[in-house]
Structure 1
Amino acid sequence: MNTVRLSLASLALLGIASSTHAASTAELTVTGLITPMACTPVFSAGGLVDFGKISQQDLNQARPTMLPLKTMALTVSCNSAGRYALRMRDNRDGTAYVNSEIYYGFGLDGSGGKIGVYSLKFDPKQTVADALPVIYGTESTTNAVAWRTSNSNPIDMGSRSLLGFTEVNGSSAGPTAIQNLTSTFILEAVINAKQNLDLSQEVVMDGSATLEVVYL
């Protein structure tokens, strides 16, 4: 149907070509907004999570092996209160054996096998922002066009979603203006099944991701 409509439109234009002239120029408009707001996110321990050496005999042969949970603190400090959200980018994109925006990869083994995945979970109950009495989480999968109703449930940090914070429960208005925020994230790591890995030599778990502050 789309092709037919385009063809008919072309014929209609040809029919009036003798009486009108196509414009010889095209206009481009580029917009944006430079904000004086600036925020700095900082993970505890310099953002390093080290599981140490893991023996291959401790890995499950035919199913993934979950490692002990880790916690890490995140602080976001801004020069003034403003609305913002967080998003994570996987620097090892394509190495997670689970196809989901909340899982990030550990890189590849010597034979190109996918080593494992990890995820970060935000818990509003472990979050403090400015002098606000309580914080709720909200999320947008539409690049801040619409926001999920805020609540106190934990939220997995996504690579294609925005994570925001508000002091209003049950709101779909998006994040509140915040200057200083401190939260504890839970990191969950899983190693691929032993049968899927090349363990003839040491395998380096090489997870790397970048946390981005998105100004709203």
Structure 2
Amino acid sequence: MKNHFAALSLTGLIGLAPHALAASADKLTVKGLITPLACTPSLSNSGLVEFGKIPRRDLNVDKRTRLRDQTLDFSIQCSAPGRFALRMRDDREGSAIVNSQIYYGLNYDGSGNKIGLYSLNFNPENTVVDDLSQVFRTDSTTGGVAWSTSNNRPIPIAARSYLGFTDRAGSNAGPIAIRHLTSRVIVETVIAPTSELDLSTDVQIDGSATLEIVYL
């Protein structure tokens, strides 16, 4: 069960087997879990990162340009303590200039060239969870079946991995139940070389992603 919300948008302007039948009949089983838990995530400034108008002269011709990092306050408020994780879905899928689950696209220019990429970075050191003295992050690339060893190193929120939170370092037990979480996330943005863009007209930076809470 997931709670979806439009989490992040970046704006600005430059001047993606055959199945054999083994039997004649089979059994259908439908399972699920209805939970009273409800978590509400939010980002400051409604998740909007606005770079304004970026002059062409401020961008590199033959190499990528990293724009100034932006920070957003991030919080999750749950109706009761519960186990959950985060992942992010790119609403501009396929437009990032690097093919990786931690990078998200900024859409295309008028000639179909990829404008750039961005990432949303989480730091346990900037995070407060309930009454815990310290928070550690753990992630799963198996849909929550197995979890990485928890630590306090920063990590980008990924599209095909779960990001969870725990109160113990060195644990593989996965996320703990949480009711309130507050943090500050960093948006890192990179623009393609201007030699790879069509700048005969203004280019609209148009990144958009959806942050998902996955209940565990």
Task: Give the TM-score normalised by structure 2.
Answer: 0.89
Q: What amino acid maps onto 2:179 in structure 1?
A: Q
Match of 1:46, SS? helix
Partner of 1:161: 161
- Per-residue displacement from partner, 1:55-112 (whole Å, max 9, x unpaired)? 1111111110000011111100100001000000000001001000000000000000
Structure 2: runs of 5+ lacking an equivalent: 1-19
Partner of 1:32: 32
Residue 152 of structure 1 deviates from its aligned partner by: 0.6
Partner of 1:61: 61
Partner of 2:9: none
| 1-structure distance, mates of 2:26, 2:136 | 46
Q: What amino acid maps onto 1:152 in structure 2?
A: N
Q: What amino acid maps onto 1:50 in structure 2?
A: E
| 2-structure distance, mates of 1:66, 1:110 | 22
Partner of 1:9: none
| 1-structure distance, mates of 2:109, 2:24 | 56
Q: What amino acid maps onto 2:131 in structure 1?
A: A
Give yes or no for the alignment of 1:111 onto 2:117. Answer: no
| 2-structure distance, mates of 1:106, 1:44 | 20
Residue 124 of structure 1 deviates from its aligned partner by: 0.2
Task: After TM superposition, list the pairs within 5 Å mapping 1:115-126 onto structure 2.
Answer: 115-126=115-126
Partner of 1:178: 178
Partner of 2:127: 127
- Per-residue displacement from partner, 1:138-160 (whole Å, max 9, x unpaired)? 11011001101000100111000
Residue 24 of structure 1 deviates from its aligned partner by: 4.4
Task: After TM superposition, list the pairs within 5 Å mapping 1:11-160 onto structure 2.
Answer: 24-160=24-160
| 1-structure distance, mates of 2:165, 2:140 | 11
| 1-structure distance, mates of 2:60, 2:160 | 31
Q: Find runs of 4+ consecutive structure 1 residues off by over 4 angstroms.
A: none
Partner of 2:8: none
| 2-structure distance, mates of 1:208, 1:198 | 21
Task: Give the TM-score normalised by structure 1.
Answer: 0.89
| 2-structure distance, mates of 1:137, 1:143 | 16
Q: What amino acid maps onto 1:192 in structure 2?
A: A
Residue 28 of structure 1 deviates from its aligned partner by: 1.1
| 2-structure distance, mates of 1:89, 1:97 | 16
Q: What amino acid maps onto 1:128 in structure 2?
A: V
| 2-structure distance, mates of 1:189, 1:215 | 29
Residues 24 and 189 (structure 1 numbering): CA distance in 2 closer, same or farther, change over 3 Å? closer
| 2-structure distance, mates of 1:214, 1:24 | 37
Could you say which structure has the greater relative contact order, defined with CA pairs below 8 angstroms and 6 or more residues apart?
A: 2
Partner of 2:215: 215
Q: What amino acid maps onto 1:157 in structure 2?
A: I
Q: What amino acid maps onto 1:199 in structure 2?
A: L
| 1-structure distance, mates of 2:78, 2:26 | 41
| 2-structure distance, mates of 1:66, 1:25 | 58
Higher strand share: 2
Match of 1:50, SS? strand
Residues 23 and 121 (structure 1 numbering): CA distance in 2 closer, same or farther, change over 3 Å? closer
Rg larger for = 1
Residue 25 of structure 1 deviates from its aligned partner by: 2.6
Q: What amino acid maps onto 2:135 in structure 1?
A: I
Match of 1:74, SS? strand
